[in-house]
Structure 1
């Protein structure tokens, strides 16, 4: 219990750690840099899915549970994508009035963090404690640039730096709640663990391919973003092998 609580809090607060940077910068961040952050995050999440979640799900439940869980994860994210208003934060060329649309965008980002929190909780419910630490670490690395991008968006909507930092941090707080939900649900119903791991993997793969990679290619930085993706993947593998 202590492990999942600490892991979920640290991974969620990484959003605030990334947003904290805005308090110390005095100029706008280029699209190139944003694309690098998004692609690097995608590489980290890809490693977590393919090296952490999927092998563990196969080991515990076999291919059928993996197949069902991944499809459920993809299907759930597809529904969220259709129902939740989504505007690309990095490539929007027109100003958005905060009182009209920004609240919806913040809500959408918060809801998109739900699968990430579930991933952490379900991973800690598995018999291998290292899987939980791995996924919490990966989600934390992914949350940091996400927090920075959200905070930058809010500043662009004429919001003060400190308030933008607070709101960006709060978008990640829901991961603590959903992480605990995922942990308790799968911990007390052990047969759900491989499905939960597979569900998390499917949700993360959807986010990688549908959100992070396309948005990192939106300004002609495809080659640089590709290098960043591979760097993120290899960095995560190095961390896994080292620790």
Structure 2
């Protein structure tokens, strides 16, 4: 099986690797099918948990690699992180302003009746999906580079990167589907949106592998951009939303647990 994989074109290797990462997102999103009855306290805890996952992923999955890439490219290490991070937050702020236009369409997340909840879930889906684009690009670039300088070590590194991102995607899928369920969406649609947030990774990976020379210098900015977008959502919607029903303590603990889990996965998988 491994010999078959190594014989593939690097673009196909990137596609296969990110189909795995997408599958892990779907597996995490499938946790929404466990349990029959909603408990508001538990749902608030899961919303806060998703916030903790997003905060940790913003640094260890996005900002830290962006800083390392900038250093290796000879760019001031802080510059792409600063520019990308602030632009990401600004972009989500603009998206937040146009959401009321989308909300006038009854087909847009129509199962969620509360306008505040609809806006929060819209931003959550958008930011997690946006975060998966540079991750997919990173995998694509890693495999695309093999076409230029193939070695067993570089192949192992690309596979390890895809494996690490895939395992990290499991709690991210959960972090999308369970908050959607909390806000009144059906289990099937919560799962659909949860797994769909990872569907962009194979597309981005193929693009990254095909245009490795052009995309690699932009990766630090793209990673930081996604981090800024995610932190904006956590600060504006996730933390306040998880505490609006009065479950402040469980929300605070859940956020820390989510952060700790994602931090552990990111650091352990390197």
Measured against the shorter chain, the TM-score band is: 0.7 to 0.9
Summarize the Cα distance change of 1:111–1:235 in structure 2 as closer, same or farther, 3 Å threshold. closer
Separation (CA, whole Å) in 2 of partners of 1:179 and 1:100: 23
Separation (CA, whole Å) in 1 of partners of 2:54 and 2:128: 13
1:178-189 counterparts in 2 under 5 A?
178-187=200-209, 188=211, 189=215
Q: Secondary structure at the match of 1:14?
A: helix
Q: TM-score, structure 1 length as denominator?
A: 0.74
1:9-158 counterparts in 2 under 5 A?
9-15=23-29, 17-21=30-34, 24-25=35-36, 27-30=37-40, 32-61=41-70, 62-85=77-100, 102=110, 105=118, 108=122, 111-125=126-140, 127=142, 129=158, 133-154=163-184
Q: Secondary structure at the match of 1:28?
A: coil
Q: Which moved more, 1:117-126 or 1:70-79?
A: 117-126
Q: Secondary structure at the match of 2:197?
A: helix
Measure how far apart 1:28 and its partner are: 3.3
Measure how far apart 1:75 and its partner are: 2.1
Measure how far apart 1:56 and its partner are: 0.8
Separation (CA, whole Å) in 2 of partners of 1:49 and 1:110: 15
Summarize the Cα distance change of 1:237–1:33 in structure 2 as closer, same or farther, 3 Å threshold. same
Unaligned runs of 5+ in 1: 87-97, 156-163
Q: What's the counterpart of residue 217 of structure 2? A: 191
Q: Which moved more, 1:109-118 or 1:187-196?
A: 109-118
Note the alpha carbon deviations across 1:31-57, whole angstroms, 9 max, x for none.
Answer: x21121111221122111112211110
Separation (CA, whole Å) in 1 of partners of 2:161 and 2:108: 41
Summarize the Cα distance change of 1:59–1:154 in structure 2 as closer, same or farther, 3 Å threshold. same
Unaligned runs of 5+ in 2: 1-13, 71-76, 113-117, 143-156
Query: Of 168, 171, 185, which residue of structure 1 is paired with 2:193?
Result: 171
Summarize the Cα distance change of 1:72–1:153 in structure 2 as closer, same or farther, 3 Å threshold. same
Query: Of 223, 231, 248, which residue of structure 2 is paired with 1:222?
Result: 248
Note the alpha carbon deviations across 1:120-155, whole angstroms, 9 max, x for none.
Answer: 313424656455544544443133143134235446
Summarize the Cα distance change of 1:215–1:53 in structure 2 as closer, same or farther, 3 Å threshold. same
Q: Secondary structure at the match of 2:245?
A: coil
